[in-house]
A = this chain, B = another copy of it.
């Protein structure tokens, strides 16, 4: 049971932006500071942008900023954007066949709730102190 490095890297990058908020930061800086491949960061930020979590400016002296105050951005948003929805097991996805009306599905739905609850209770600015 692991979250992907997309989530790990993405969160670190987002915290970096949160620390610098509202200053605009280039991915090169983040890449250098966090030791994450620039090209990989570009991919991550494309999806972050598509989901309106960051704003960007192209061209020289360009970069990214969080789209809202870090106080308003929940860690869960970043992670679900980069990883897709939190679904520990098919059972918890709702699309259950007969076999999955099984007793153990309550484990996975309860787990799903708890994970989401945890991730959505932490905001980016909680991680900048």
Residues of A at under 8 Å CB distance from B? 1-4, 7-8, 11-12, 15, 34-35, 75, 83-84, 86-91, 99, 102-104, 106-108, 110-111, 114-115, 117-119, 122, 127-129
Chain A to chain B contacts (Cβ below 8 Å), 20 pairs: A1-B1, A1-B2, A1-B7, A1-B88, A3-B89, A3-B108, A7-B89, A8-B91, A8-B104, A11-B104, A12-B104, A15-B102, A34-B99, A34-B102, A35-B99, A75-B107, A106-B122, A106-B127, A107-B119, A111-B115
Beta-carbon contact of A89 and B1 below 8 Å: no
**Chain B residues closer than 8 Å to A127, beta-carbon distance:** 103-104, 106-107
| Contact A87 B15, CB 8 Å, known A114-B115, A118-B114 | no
Q: How many copies does the complex hold?
A: 2
Beta-carbon contact of A103 and B128 below 8 Å: yes
Interface of A: prevailing SS = helix
A110–chain B nearest beta-carbon distance, Å: 6
A41–chain B nearest beta-carbon distance, Å: 14
